[in-house]
């Protein structure tokens, strides 16, 4: 599908926000069905100011919607009758600032998590919701999508328990090589995800969780264009750092810094940028650009193409 511009939803001080889980009844290609859902949502929901993030994982759907309250109530009545899923369970409902700044995001998670494990997490979040415990939508999303076997899976709602780091490379797939190396080093499973926005499909993002002292680390590799997906931008305030694997080519490195800065624009808080490059001269112009966007920047000297060297140089400024 060709790229197309996303039309941002109308700016509102507060919107209704709802997150629900349901069991998938899709028998054919999940990708194809999610593309059909996307097409319908953009045609019918976008003009009404509704933003949506949709996840398919372990035979379950997870959907996060934001928009005018009356519109969402009517929309949920139609959603409940959709034959592609059943047993809809609401796990979050609130009013608050709009966190999804584009009309559509979708994700498919590829992991060994069984449907029963996902159902167990849904039941726990449902009880928390009914007991009046109200996590923000990103925290709900993380709790439901994190496989039970991962370190700290039960601590996803505690923001103080995790250090989250996003890794992007100015060129190539170095961010994914770094995360794969971390998974091997710590003996932890790698979770593969695909993200898409309103028009584009197949943006890769992998992550690994591992113990890091008294806290836990989640390190996420993302393709550069993934920063254009509203769901990815919604999680940016959760990151302690964005680790930039620099190429040494000025234009490519500047494009990466500007892309991260654009994704952080308008967020209540933004992560600091940590650039990794082998030459000291490359950091000053990047720091100047970052500071112009109100972002903190620190440069460290290491070969960004070598995962162990890049991580060992950056780690003291992350934890």
How does pLDDT run along the chain (319 residues), one tens digit per residue?
Answer: 444 555 556 555 799 999 999 999 988 888 889 999 999 999 989 899 999 999 999 999 999 999 999 999 999 999 999 999 999 999 999 999 999 999 999 999 988 899 999 999 999 999 988 888 888 999 999 999 999 888 888 887 787 789 999 999 999 999 999 999 999 999 999 999 999 999 866 799 999 999 998 899 999 999 999 999 999 999 999 999 999 999 999 999 999 999 999 999 988 889 999 999 999 999 999 999 999 999 999 999 999 999 999 999 999 999 7
Can you give the pLDDT at residue 159? 73
Are the CB atoms for 60 and 141 separated by under 8 Å?
no
Can you give the pLDDT at residue 3? 46
The token pair at 223 is 């393709």
- Tell me, what DSSP letter sits at residue 123? H
Q: Which residue has the tokens 């499909």?
A: 201
Backbone CA torsion sign across 271, 166, 142, 35:
positive
CA distance 157 to 93: 16
How distant is the alpha carbon of residue 14 from its chain centre?
A: 22
CA distance 72 to 237: 26
pTM (2 d.p.): 0.92
Long-range Cβ contact pairs of 24-28 (< 8 A, separation 24 or more): 24/56, 24/59, 24/60, 24/61, 24/84, 24/85, 25/83, 25/84, 25/85, 25/86, 26/56, 26/84
């Amino acid at each position: 599908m060709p790229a197309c511009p996303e039309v941002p939803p109308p700016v509102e001080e507060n919107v209704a926000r709802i997150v629900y889980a349901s069991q998938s009844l899709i028998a054919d290609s999940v990708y194809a069905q999610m593309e059909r859902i996307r097409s319908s949502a953009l045609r019918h929901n976008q003009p009404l100011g509704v933003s949506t993030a949709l996840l398919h994982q372990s035979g379950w759907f997870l959907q996060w919607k934001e928009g005018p309250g009356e519109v969402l109530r009517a929309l949920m009545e139609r959603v409940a009758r959709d034959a592609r899923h059943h047993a809809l369970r609401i796990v979050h409902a609130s009013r608050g600032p709009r966190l999804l700044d584009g009309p559509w995001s979708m994700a498919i998670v590829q992991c060994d998590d069984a449907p029963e494990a996902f159902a167990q997490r849904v039941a726990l979040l449902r009880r928390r919701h009914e007991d009046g415990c109200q996590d923000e939508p990103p925290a709900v999303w993380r709790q439901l999508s994190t496989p039970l076997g991962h370190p700290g899976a039960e601590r996803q709602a505690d923001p103080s328990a995790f250090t989250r780091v996003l890794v992007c490379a100015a060129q190539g797939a170095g961010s994914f090589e770094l995360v794969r190396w971390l998974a091997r080093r710590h003996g932890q499973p790698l979770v593969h995800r695909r993200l898409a926005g309103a028009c584009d499909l197949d943006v890769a993002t992998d992550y690994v969780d591992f113990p890091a002292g008294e806290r836990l680390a989640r390190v996420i590799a993302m393709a550069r264009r993934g920063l254009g997906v509203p769901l990815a931008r919604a999680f940016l305030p959760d990151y302690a750092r964005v680790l930039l694997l620099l190429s040494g080519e000025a234009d490519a490195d500047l494009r990466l810094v500007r892309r991260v800065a654009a994704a952080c624009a308008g967020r209540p808080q933004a992560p600091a940028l940590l650039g990794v490059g082998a030459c000291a001269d490359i950091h000053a112009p990047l720091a100047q650009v970052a500071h112009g966007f109100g972002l903190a920047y620190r440069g460290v000297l290491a070969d960004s193409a070598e995962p162990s060297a890049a991580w060992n140089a950056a780690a003291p400024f992350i934890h």
